[in-house]
Amino acid sequence: MKLLASVCGPKTITPSLVPLSSGGVQMEWHHGTIDLEITIYSPSRIEVFLCDENTGEDGKEWLIFSDFSSLLPIMKTLSESA
């Protein structure tokens, strides 16, 4: 909830939520040229996968621990295209 509250705006597209057998959850946004997947394994282990044809990001992956600011430009794009 903290992650969504810190990066999503009122117009952000609603993600698909996928429960993981490990007890975590994956949030997925597939809209236009953007494929964004955020997998939360635990509060201290969050993985992000991004493909965006407009920016040339092709399968970028990274780990996030508590600073979600790197997601803000992506989420802004998802909000604007809603």
- Longest distance between any two alpha carbons in the chain, whole Å: 34
Of the candidates 39, 65, 35, the one whose C-alpha atom is nearest the C-alpha of residue 50 is 35
Q: What mean pLDDT is predicted for residues 49-76?
A: 76
Looking at this protein, which amino acid is placed at residue 32? G
Q: What confidence score (pLDDT) does residue 26 get?
A: 94
- Give the model confidence (pLDDT) of 3-55 as tens digits: 777 778 788 888 899 999 989 999 999 888 888 898 988 877 888 888 888 77
**From the CB of residue 64, how many other CB atoms can be counted at a distance below 10 Å?**
17
Residue 76: pLDDT band with limits 50, 70, 90 = confident
- Specify the 3-state DSSP secondary structure of 53: coil
Distances, alpha carbon 53 to alpha carbons 67, 74, 78, in Å: 25, 12, 14
